[in-house]
Structure formats: C-alpha cells, structure tokens
Amino acid sequence: MGLLRSSPSYPWTNSMLLWQRTAFHFQPQKNWMNDPNGPTYYRGWYHLFYQYNPASAVWGNITWGHAVSLDLVHWFYLPIAMVPDHWYDANGVWTGSATILPDGRLAMLYTGSTAELVQVQNLAFPADQDDPLLLTWVKSESNPVLVPPPGIAPKDFRDPTTAWYVPSESAWRIAIGSKNDSQRHAGIALVYRTSDFLSYELLPGVLHSVAGTGMWECVDFYPVSTESATGLDTSAATGPGVKHVLKASMDDDRNDYYAIGTYEAATNAWVPDDPEKDVGIGLRYDYGMFYASKTFYDPVKQRRVLWGWIGETDSERTDLRKGWASLQTIPRTVLFDQQTGSNLLQWPVDDVETLRSGSQEFSNISIPAGSVVPLDCSTSGGAAGRGVLGPFGLLVLADDDLSEQTAVYFYFVRSTDGSISTHFCHDELRHACHPALLAADIVKRVYGSLVPVLDGETLSVDHSVIESFAQGGRTCITSRVYPTSATYGGGRLFLFNNATGVDVTAKSLKIWQMGSAFIRPFSEHDSVSLH
C-alpha cells in the first residue's frame, strides 16, 4: 500500500481535482482526515470529531477536528477540539469515544501517543457542560488514566470504546483493542471497570480474542435488538431479544470486521454465534474502502448510527497537490437482520433523503445478453468478463463512450451440486482510464462478496465516491474513484448485461438527483437562526 501510494503522479487538471470534492459526504475544508471519533448526540446537536492534521494532506500531527449538525446531513465546522499539548498526547490525540452519563454530562476517553510513542488512555470533558456546541475541552489532571498493562506492548494499546453501564456492580466498563503475539498473533479486546472514569480496574481474561488476526484497532461493542427495528443504547440491558456486536478494525489488513454474539458481564465474555464467522475471519461492514468505523446511539430517532473513514487510493503526491485527503461515509443506520438472523443491515440514514430531487423511474427494462442500455437521467476480470449467468448491473460515473466507468454488479455462480450463489461487486478497473489519459497513480480493485439473496439495492454516487447497499444493506461496498471525464455534466448511468446465457429484466429502477449538503464553518449568526 505504501509503495503504491507514493508512485508517480498522474497529471490531474485542477478541474478534475476540484470535482473530487464531494457534495454530501463529510470532509474537512482542507488537509488530512482519518478515523471518526467520539460521535454523539448532545443537547440538540450531532457531534462528529475526527482525526485531523491541521498542517498537511498526509497523516501526522494528529488533532481532533470537530463538526456539528442538526440532521446528520448538513454540517458546520467548529474549531479544533483537542491538540497534542501534553506529554501524554505529544505525538497525537488519537482515536476515542464519547459516553453520555445518566445526568447528561459527557466523558470523552481517547488514546494519547506520548513523546516516547507509548499509547496511553486519557480523559477529557467539556469545559462548559451547558454549551451544546462543546467548543472547549479540558483534559483531566489525572491523565493518563490508563497505561499499557503488564504483557501488553506500549504501541498495542489504543482506541477506548464508549462505556457501558453494568447495574449489578454500579460501574462502567470500556474495551480497548490490543494483540497478543505470544498467543498466535491473537487480536484481543481488554476490558476495564471504572466508576468515575478516573481510576480503572483491568478485568481478568479478555472480552474476546481471535488467533491470527493481529492488532485490533477501534474496537466497537454494542447491543442490537433481535426483535425490533429500533437501535439500543450502549448500556441497554442484556437478555432475551438482545445480542451484542463486536467490531474491530484489523491493522493487518485494514478492514472492519464484525460478528454477532452473546455478552455476559458476569464472566466478562462475549461469545460469537458462529465461531466460523468470528471477528476478523467472517463478516465485514463493507467490502470496499472503509476503515476505523464507530457507532453511536441516537436517542432522537432511537437508532444506532455508523460512521466509517473512506481513505484515498490515489498517491500522496496527488493528495498534497489537491490539499486534502479522505472522506467519511454517509452515516448508516445499523440493525440486526431479523430475516437471516446472522448479519447486520446497514442503510444510509433516512435524513439524507431530504437531498433527493428530480426522481426518475424506469420499469421492466430488458437487457439482452451482451448489451448495454443507457439510462437517460442527465447525469474486468471484473465486470468485463462474461459468464453464462452474469455479470450484470449498473455502470456509474461513466462517460458517454464508456471508456470511463465503475461497474456495480451481480453475478451468479452455479456450483457442482447445482446450487446457485449470488455475488455482489464493484469493479473499479475502468474508472479514470480515458484512453487519452492513464491515471497511473490510483490503486484500482475489484471488490466483492457473497450475498444471500437478490432483492433490491441502493446506490449513492457522489462526485468521487460510490457507496452500494445490496439486499437491504446486507452487503455494502464503498469505492473511492477519481473520474477524469465523467465529471461535472459528463457523468452517465448505464445498465449492462455481460452474461452470455441469460437476458435480464430490470423490474424497477428509481433514480434521484442529489442536492448538495451545506458543510461550512459555523458562525454566530447560525446559533441565533437555528435554535
């Protein structure tokens, strides 16, 4: 990855680079961003903090950027929330999580990387708990509140979770990711108990460990209801009708894996429902460019909302030239899939539908084997290969002559026993490859995964990012793309069927234009007019 990211740069024009700024995905005005941090809802505002380098478009000098929103769609940039200004975070204010206490106050735990590069956990709280914008942060005089325990390497102890309350002991617990190389390179989640967020007790054992998965970053741990379509507060009671999701971001392969299982506070253990689909070896939130995600509970709409970091796949040199790097996904609602009982469903928060306009509907479009059907809506190895039963699907961010395109498609595979499985994929190999140009500095891949059944799909296409949700959100794929000619008015949409043996009918297809969200600095005027 490092090698590819520093390969020679393609001669992007300013207008191409400008087009890469997105219309409704969160990104800072300039410079580098990575993990979402401490997302929360506080006194009328959704807060998003994020790993941010105020000085450059590459990682380093990590501070906490900060933005607020009334609806998770339109965002106001606020001043940087925390900077590396103490010995315990001199090398960076790294990832952390927010906990709302029963009396409404907020505690923020984050990892500090010290001047000696030791990872320690720190506590911060708002200087004024009555300020809904949470503009000023105070770091606790007790910091660091946690240092790596015996047996844990100094650089393998980071990213505290949101705390959950255990009523039987009138105390909170948090999990922190690490690894244990003496136990077959196991990824592990340590659990600490605290009643005041200042002093902590390491519980015996681990919440969970999976051999061979390496360092677990950005652990997330939360309950889901198996019976209702509402989200649960992180401290919701365990018991019938509730399962727990354990997610970890694998530093070894840079993907976010989750598993669903049962949590028992008394034994400090979480057990996966299906050990074959354990954390790091089974399901992923997203099969594309997606990492370091974090959820929070939204009490307003009683939903659990997921944020994920979408990194770049172009070169660092290009990022420096354009002056920024990375996006956040559209926030996604996360639910337990009651139909399969074995996975989560993710869907863009419904608030984003307010950006829709100019809907167009197509029905019963037949796509004969081997054909491409343009959809007039003003805007392989992979998809190019041909098999009896596919691939077929959509070509998005395509130009008129299809020299540039990203395919979002399905194909069926018939196995020797006659059963058919469905695959859902993104093929990035032909984006940014207009014949006159060769965008050599982009890492392009074909992403894909098996999906249980074929039944409806939604796609969000922003200027330089495609997020796909198949089968009601059972399988998700995110692609970071860099169009060279499918820009501005030049982006087109096509249906294609590269199967040799079947004609395909698109029974129903609905397309909306998306308006732009406003994402801009907050002003005094806003506080008067919005509340």
* Residues noted as catalytic: 35
Give 59 or 512: the residue with its C-beta nearer to ligand DQQ.
Answer: 59
Among 5, 22, 25, 35, binds ligand DQQ (CB under 6 A): 35
Binding of ligand DQQ by 487 (CB under 6 A)? no
Binding of ligand DQQ by 121 (CB under 6 A)? no
| Residue 82 contacts residue 65 (beta carbons within 8 Å) | no
Q: Amino acid identity of 115?
A: A
Structure tokens at 441: 């500095």
Give 111 or 194: the residue with its C-beta nearer to ligand DQQ.
Answer: 111
Binding of ligand DQQ by 194 (CB under 6 A)? no
Give 223 or 308: the residue with its C-beta nearer to ligand DQQ.
Answer: 308
Report cis status (omega within 30 of 0) of the bond before 144: yes
Residues 288, 285: Cα–Cα separation, whole Å? 9
Binding of ligand DQQ by 163 (CB under 6 A)? no
Binding of ligand DQQ by 158 (CB under 6 A)? yes
Among 16, 33, 57, 62, binds ligand DQQ (CB under 6 A): 62
Among 122, 160, 190, 217, binds ligand DQQ (CB under 6 A): 217
Give 95 or 161: the residue with its C-beta nearer to ligand DQQ.
Answer: 95
CA 332 to the chain's CA centroid: 8
Binding of ligand DQQ by 208 (CB under 6 A)? no
Binding of ligand DQQ by 89 (CB under 6 A)? no
Q: Which residues pair with 504 in a beta bridge?
A: 367
Sign of CA dihedral 137, 143, 144, 145: negative
The nearest distance, CB 250 to ligand DQQ, in angstroms, is 10
Residues 531, 528: Cα–Cα separation, whole Å? 6
Binding of ligand DQQ by 159 (CB under 6 A)? yes
The nearest distance, CB 49 to ligand DQQ, in angstroms, is 12
Instruction: Kindly identify the residues of this chain, within the stretch 94-113, that bind ligand DQQ according to CB under 6 A.
Output: 94-95, 111
Give 38 or 393: the residue with its C-beta nearer to ligand DQQ.
Answer: 38
The nearest distance, CB 220 to ligand DQQ, in angstroms, is 12
Residues 233, 296: Cα–Cα separation, whole Å? 8
Binding of ligand DQQ by 250 (CB under 6 A)? no
Structure tokens at 4: 């590819």
Among 22, 27, 31, 34, binds ligand DQQ (CB under 6 A): 34
CA 22 to the chain's CA centroid: 16
Give 95 or 329: the residue with its C-beta nearer to ligand DQQ.
Answer: 95
Among 289, 292, 352, 432, binds ligand DQQ (CB under 6 A): 292
Binding of ligand DQQ by 213 (CB under 6 A)? no
Phi, psi (5° rounding) for residue 462? -105, 175
User: 92: helix, coil or strand?
Assistant: coil
Cα–Cα separations (whole angstroms), residue 446 to 53, 225, 386, 406, 407: 30, 34, 15, 10, 9
User: 64: helix, coil or strand?
Assistant: strand
Q: Amino acid identity of 509?
A: L
| Residue 400 contacts residue 408 (beta carbons within 8 Å) | no
Element (H, E) at 526: helix 524-530
Binding of ligand DQQ by 64 (CB under 6 A)? no
Give 144 or 483: the residue with its C-beta nearer to ligand DQQ.
Answer: 144
Structure tokens at 37: 């941090």
Residues binding ligand DQQ: what is the number (CB under 6 A)? 13
CA nearest neighbour of 237 among 201, 202, 278, 265: 265
Contacting positions for ligand DQQ (CB under 6 A): 34-35, 51, 62, 94-95, 111, 158-159, 217-218, 249, 292
